[in-house]
Structure 1
Amino acid sequence: MGSNAKIGGGGFHHVAIRVYDFDATVRFYSEVLGFQEKVRWGEGSSRAIMLDTGDGNYLEVFAGGTEGAKPEGAFLHLALRSDDVDGAVELARAAGMEVTVEPKDAVLGGIPVRIAFFKGPDGEIIELFQSTGDVSL
């Protein structure tokens, strides 16, 4: 875990993208860039996967994207590690940021986590991500 005392832990957990060709994207990042599958969930256009980039930081790939180039690319959000999602989201709220998803528990491919989302100063989507089970993600 990192050393960011404000949000507890800190550092990037993952960057998320939504893609049109899920299988080709996963093959590229796995076979060409050497990312390793950590966990996957969902089916069809609702499937997703976390690929370890090699240092415990992840690329999260979601299916269901539209074909062709996107004005802002395929990036959805950035996620920051935290060991206190509830406290960290209150820091963002107190700074005037819009909380778009209140802190909640979720299970990703059998791994329990706690997450929250808010908009940064320029509208960028920021996720706070906390592993809560025996297996860390």
Structure 2
Amino acid sequence: MTAPVPNLGLDHIALRTYDIDASVRFYTEALGFRFAHEWSAPEAGVNRCVFLDAGDDRVIELFDAASTPPGGSARNFDAEPRPSDEERARAATLVHFAIRTEEPAALFQRAVAAGARPLMTPARIETKGVTAMTLEVGFVYGPNGEVIEFIKRPRLQQS
């Protein structure tokens, strides 16, 4: 028998931002994240970074446009012309990230009112497979072109 993997769960998602202050406002004021910490590490290519607590100590890490975080492109993130939201989404490895909520439509509307661009209006989806589920999901483009999903789903069964 092998030893269990010391995986404590997803810790954070990192995003580069065009305007870090506007991104902090969007995630805190529109989506309810809590400002947790701000830091820099110039020797590691980080000019300015902000941790926003998504709840349960799960974090979105926002880097400013001047930073080149580990795994990030050395390309000037604020160079013109900026790619469209669709171009960024098609070229990204991370397809989207999801925020769990009991009210996807309400959070979708708050995001759009705060400047997010609608991608898919919240709708119910019936899944098929080993275990069928009913989901309610909606998607927006966030302030940096990131695709954000708002999802209501049942908890997954533990095996």
Structure exhibiting the larger radius of gyration computed from Cα positions: 2
Give TM-score scaled by structure 1 length.
0.45
Give TM-score scaled by structure 2 length.
0.39
- Which structure dedicates a bigger proportion of its chain to strand? 1
Q: Which has the higher contact order (CA 8 A, sep 6+)?
A: 1
